[in-house]
Structure 1
Amino acid sequence: MRTIDKRLTAKLAPVLVKRAPTITLAFDARCKSRLAVTLDNGEEVALVMPRGTVLADGDMLVADDGGFVRVVAAAEDVLVVRAVNPLTLMRAAYHLGNRHTPVEIDADHLKLEADSVLEDMLKRLGTTVTRESQPFQPETGAYGGGHKHGHDETFSEDYALAQKLYREHDHSQCGHDHDHHHHHHGHGHE
């Protein structure tokens, strides 16, 4: 059984991309670092990616024998959210983000995995929600390539950027001050 363990960052010639066997995966499977999968041609392979890797539609992977495999995002049950104005759509995005819901963002709509509770909330916010079967590719992260762990190559750069933004942030706008001489009732310290 071949093992696929690398994502190619360089561009390949279109003929090589076209010839590569494909692996069609839903979003949840594209987030897993260890997975036994079957390529679309029927070949069984082991997918062993670095932790935190989120595969996207069109990614080219390299197997341990040097062969290429192209990722295809599978169609899955999603909610497509539209609104009559940008403010309503931004409010919907805010409430989804507040729930840490993976969301794909487009200029005129949002897309998320089908969920009846979220569907109801979105309708109450004044959006139009339709259930469809489409590939789902949510945003991957505010500071770079995706979900970060302390050992990822760009983590230190991303962390430094986050700390810089935090230091530049005017905390007085948060509705609290940072005078730490106040009492924390019930916590046993001052």
Structure 2
Amino acid sequence: MLTAQHYHDHGHGAPADHVSLTYEDRFLRRKVLTLASGTPLLVDLPQTTSLNHGGVLITSHKTEIRIEAAPEPLLSVTGPSLHRIAWHVGNRHTPCQIEDERLLIQRDHVMADMLAKIGADVRDVIEPFTPEGGAYGHGRTHGHDHSHSHT
């Protein structure tokens, strides 16, 4: 079976194949994935990693497999005070894709209700999800320990 044990945030040429994964599925260490070509790929990374859209897995044959964000159920959030809405989303540590005219977040009826109450227009959409990675590094923001110094 084809195996990948390395990951890079960007490729260096034409990828040999690609795999489309949801936001949650792009957080992994060891898993068998099915590439777009139908080929199985064993991902066996040294640690749990957040794979970003556009990143590449490097196979044992030194070929690159491109990571693509798969369409998934999301909420499109707009409103006249988008900066205020974004503050409320961030205050709840909700992964968020920030665009000029809207925010995208994972579907959550509690968040949708709260956002509507503060004046947001919330619509269901199905699109790829590539949220911001956070101020403390790449990938996921959860699990960051705030007890140490950043000096």
**Same fold by TM (over 0.5)?**
yes
More strand by share: 2
* Match of residue 62 from structure 2: 66
Whether 2:79 is the aligned partner of 1:83: answer yes
Indicate the structure whose relative CO is greater, using CA pairs within 8 Å and at least 6 residues apart.
Answer: 2
Q: CA deviation at 1:79?
A: 0.4
| Deviation per residue, 1:111-143 (Å, 9 max, x gap) | 011111111111111011111110001111202
| Deviation per residue, 1:77-112 (Å, 9 max, x gap) | 00011112xxx2222222222221111111221101
Change in 2 beyond 3 A, CA 1:45/1:26 = same
Which SS does the other structure have where 2:119 is aligned?
coil
Which SS does the other structure have where 2:68 is aligned?
strand
TM-score normalised to the size of structure 2? 0.86
| Deviation per residue, 1:142-174 (Å, 9 max, x gap) | 02223489xxxxx9xxx98x634xxxxxxxxxx
CA distance in structure 2 between the aligned counterparts of 1:60 and 1:114, rounded to whole angstroms: 27
Q: Percent identity?
A: 33
* Match of residue 99 from structure 1: 92
CA distance in structure 1 between the aligned counterparts of 2:52 and 2:150, rounded to whole angstroms: 28
Determine which structure has more spread, i.e. the larger CA radius of gyration: 1
CA distance in structure 2 between the aligned counterparts of 1:128 and 1:10, rounded to whole angstroms: 35
| 5+ residue gaps, structure 2 | none
CA distance in structure 2 between the aligned counterparts of 1:72 and 1:31, rounded to whole angstroms: 13
Whether 2:126 is the aligned partner of 1:133: answer yes
CA distance in structure 1 between the aligned counterparts of 2:43 and 2:140, rounded to whole angstroms: 18
| 5+ residue gaps, structure 1 | 150-154, 165-190
More helix by share: 1
* Match of residue 118 from structure 1: 111
* Match of residue 163 from structure 1: 150
CA distance in structure 1 between the aligned counterparts of 2:30 and 2:138, rounded to whole angstroms: 19
Report if aligned partners of 1:52, 1:147 keep a CA contact under 8 Å in 2. no
Q: CA deviation at 1:30?
A: 0.4
| Deviation per residue, 1:4-46 (Å, 9 max, x gap) | 1212356523xx23xx211110000101222221111111111
